[in-house]
Amino acid sequence: MTFKFDMPDVIPVFPLPGALLLPRTKLPLHIFEPRFLSMIEDCMKTSSRLIGMVQPYQARDGETRLHSIGCAGRLNQFSETEDGRYMVTLSGMSRFRIKDEVEGFTPYRRCHVSWAGFERDLGKIERDENFDRASFMAALKRYFDDRQLSTDWDTMQEADDELLINSLSMLCPLEPEDKQALLEAPSLTTRRETLTTLLEFALRGGLLWAAFTGRV
C-alpha cells in the first residue's frame, strides 16, 4: 500500500478511554472540546491528516498516562454543526509505539512515535486461517443475548474475517484494558482468540454474578 505522504515522526494524539481504532476500520468521532477542535483544525493543514488514538490509564501515582501503543487514523470525513462542533471519521492506518511526548504550546498532546514492527498494518487484508466461524458466532450470539444487544446477523455472516473480528473488537462493550489487549494483538488470529476469551469470560462472570445476587 502506497500513500502520497510519509508516516510522520510526530503526530497529535487523542486519549479517549474505551475508543478503539484498528487498521482498515473506520471510527466516527464527535468533537466538542476546544483543545480537540484545535487539534482537528491543525490536522487538516497537514499532508498526512493523521491523528493517533490512544488509551489513557490512571497510574499508581494518580497521573493520567498513555499506553505505549496506539493506532493512527487518517481524517477523511469532516463536517461542522451549526454550534461549532465537528463530526469526523478516521480511517485506521497503522499502529504505532510512543517514544516520548512532545513538549510544546499546543492545547492538545503530541508524541514522537515509531511505526517499526507494525508493517503488516499497511499491507494486505489479513486472514485467519484457523477461524471456526460457526463456533465463534455461537459464542457471540450468547454474549449478545446476555447483554441484550442486537445486530444484523446476516451481515455479520457475510463479512470477511478481518472486518468481522476487528469490527467486533471495536464495538463490543469491553473494558478499556481489554480493548488495549485487542489493539496490541500481533495478528488477526491472536486478536480473534483474545476476543473469544474476553467474551467467554464476560459470560462466565455474568453467570457468577447472577448466582451470587440470587438472580438465577
Tens of pLDDT, residue by residue over 20-36, are 999 999 999 999 999 99
Residue 156 domain flag: yes
Indicate if 77 and 181 belong to the same structural domain. Answer: no
Q: What is the mean pLDDT of residues 113-142?
A: 93
Residue 90 domain flag: yes
C-alpha 211 chain-centroid distance: 33
Indicate if 57 and 100 belong to the same structural domain. Answer: yes
Give the residue, 87 or 210, on which the prediction is more confident.
87
> Which of 73, 101, 122 is at the close of a domain?
122
Percent of the chain topping pLDDT 70: 93
Indicate if 82 and 108 belong to the same structural domain. Answer: yes
According to the model, what pLDDT value does residue 62 have?
83
> Which of 90, 122, 154 is at the close of a domain?
122
Closest to 165 in 3D by CA, of 199, 208, 117, 215 = 199
Indicate if 14 and 85 belong to the same structural domain. Answer: yes
Indicate if 100 and 30 belong to the same structural domain. Answer: yes
Indicate if 34 and 107 belong to the same structural domain. Answer: yes
Three-state SS at 109: strand
In whole angstroms, give the CA distance from residue 66 to residue 55. Answer: 6
HSE toward the beta carbon, residue 155, CA cutoff 13 A: 6
Indicate if 158 and 103 belong to the same structural domain. Answer: no
Q: Helices 133-147 and 188-212 meet at what angle, rounded to 10?
A: 40
Indicate if 194 and 140 belong to the same structural domain. Answer: yes
HSE toward the beta carbon, residue 172, CA cutoff 13 A: 27
Residue 44 domain flag: yes
In whole angstroms, give the CA distance from residue 61 to residue 174. Answer: 25
Q: Is it the case that residue 3 has pLDDT exceeding 80?
A: no
Indicate if 112 and 144 belong to the same structural domain. Answer: no
Residue 5 domain flag: no
Q: 3-state SS string over 83-100?
A: CCCEEEEEEEEEEEEEEE
Q: Is it the case that residue 1 has pLDDT exceeding 70?
A: no
Indicate if 208 and 158 belong to the same structural domain. Answer: yes
Indicate if 15 and 113 belong to the same structural domain. Answer: yes
> Where does the pLDDT of residue 4 fall: very low under 50, low under 70, confident under 90, or very high at 90 and above?
low
Residue 1 domain flag: no
Tens of pLDDT, residue by residue over 99-109, are 999 998 899 99
Residue 2 domain flag: no
Indicate if 21 and 108 belong to the same structural domain. Answer: yes
According to the model, what pLDDT value does residue 141 have?
92
Q: What is the DSSP code string of 22-36? A: -TT-EEEEEE-SHHH
Identify the burial level of 157 via C-beta atoms within 10 angstroms of its C-beta, where 0-12 means exposed, 13-18 middle and 19 or more buried.
exposed
Question: Where are the strands (E) in the chain, listed by range?
Answer: 10-15, 26-31, 50-54, 56-58, 64-66, 69-80, 86-101, 109-114
Q: Is it the case that residue 206 has pLDDT exceeding 80?
A: no
C-alpha cell at 102: 512532545
Supply the CATH number for residue 116's domain: 2.30.130.40
According to the model, what pLDDT value does residue 209 have?
36
| Average pLDDT of every residue of the chain | 90
Q: Is it the case that residue 139 has pLDDT exceeding 50?
A: yes
Number of domains the chain is built from: 2
Residue 3 domain flag: no
Q: Which residues constitute the domain of residue 175?
A: 133-212
